[in-house]
Amino acid sequence: MKNKYNGIYVALMTPFDKNEKINAKALEQYVNYLLKFDIQGFYVGGSTGEALMMQDNERKELFKLVKKYTTKDIKLIVHVGSLSTKSAIDMGLYAKELGYDAISAVVPFYYGLSQDEIIQYYLDIVNSVKHDMVIYNFSPSGNSPLTLQTFKKLFENEHIIGIKHTSQNLFALNQFKALGDVALFNGYDEVMLAGLSMGATGGIGSTYNIMPQKYIDLYTAFNEGNMKKAKSIQDEICDIITTLIECGVLPSEKYLVSKAGFDMGDCKKPFAKLSLDKKKILDKLYKEKLS
Ligand code: MN9
């Protein structure tokens, strides 16, 4: 059995202070809060963690802190993806040494690499780090989406054990069943139920930060075959995400979690601070649907 990573994984936010430095105290409080929920793990230092705006040494500092604050036996997957293979390997080795369960890396973007170059990127990382790897299947710019053929080649490697599928293409997600028993995480929270129906074995999401219990309940309802309940939770989630998208997903999430009592600070630049108008919309959302 290859897949030991089912369930609900919160894509952890990183709290920053006014100088864009990690706010360790807020991070500890926030991690402690999330550990009270019946989640299966954290996804550390991904898009939601703002890692792509952080220096490698700052990312390593985050890995160290989250590992230290996670005092409960849940799985920890850490994102080490970088445009540089060398950096990804360096961060991967560090995370493995800290005791992370698995590493993950986004498809290297920007340069429009070929499928072969991308395959080599992942093989170089796992052959050096020798640790479980979850491919972060997200192609924001530059690359064409990874093909099933590419995934088949990647999964010949014993260390490559999962996919975080951040794509609305759920037919592609379903086709991953050809890869065998892999950890298949739904990536877009607004299609969580659809993703589960098409074969996802869990989810990694950003909006789990503001409503973890809804995802736990949706996942449970789905596994119990209670589709009516699962659908009604997904509908509630989609209404909330519609507002988040309108106001900007990451700054809104930080604002909402700060309202709940954790000092998350602002997103790193170039993210803008939320306008007063957007804050008002989010205040209403918080009051009516999240508190
Ligand atoms: O990690 C997140 N995707 C990205 C997953 O950040 C690219 C999602 O949780 C989205 O933020 C969410 C809203 O679109 O589904």
Ligand 1, atom 14: closest residue by C-alpha: 188
When the pLDDT of each residue in the chain is averaged and rounded to a whole number, the result is 97
Distance CA 92, CA 12 (A): 18
11 in contact with ligand 1, CB cutoff 6 A? yes
Residue 144: pLDDT band with limits 50, 70, 90: confident
Asked if 171 and 191 touch (Cβ cutoff 8 Å), the reply is: no
Q: How many angstroms does the Cα of residue 274 sit away from the middle of ligand 1?
A: 19
Give domain status of residue 252, yes or no: no
Q: Single out the catalytic residue among 60, 75, 96, 164.
A: 164
Give domain status of residue 71, yes or no: yes
Give domain status of residue 289, yes or no: no
CATH number at residue 79: 3.20.20.70
Please name the amino acid found at residue 79.
H
pLDDT in tens, 197-251: 999 999 999 999 999 999 999 999 999 999 999 999 999 999 999 999 999 999 9
Distances (CA, A) of 32 to 37, 63, 122: 10, 16, 33
pLDDT at 74 over 70: yes
Ligand 1, atom 11: closest residue by C-alpha: 206
Range of 71's domain? 7-227
Ligand 1, atom 6: closest residue by C-alpha: 47
pLDDT at 1: 45
47 in contact with ligand 1, CB cutoff 6 A? yes
Give domain status of residue 147, yes or no: yes
pLDDT at 231: 98
Q: What percent of the chain has pLDDT over 90?
A: 96
Q: For residue 208, indicate whether it is catalytic.
A: no
Give domain status of residue 288, yes or no: no
pLDDT in tens, 89-126: 999 999 999 999 999 999 999 999 999 999 999 999 99
207 in contact with ligand 1, CB cutoff 6 A? yes
Residue 2: pLDDT band with limits 50, 70, 90: low
Buried (b) or exposed (e) across 61-93, using 16+ Cβ within 10 A? ebbebbbebbeeebbbbbbbbbeebeebbbbbb
Give domain status of residue 11, yes or no: yes
The arithmetic mean of pLDDT across residues 49-67, rounded, is 98
In this predicted model, which residue has the larger pLDDT, 4 or 222?
222
pLDDT at 86 over 90: yes
Q: For residue 164, indicate whether it is catalytic.
A: yes
Give domain status of residue 234, yes or no: no
Our count of domains for the chain comes to 1
pLDDT in tens, 146-186: 999 999 999 999 999 999 999 999 999 999 999 999 999 99
Residue whose C-alpha is closest to residue 67's, from 28, 106, 9: 28
Give domain status of residue 179, yes or no: yes
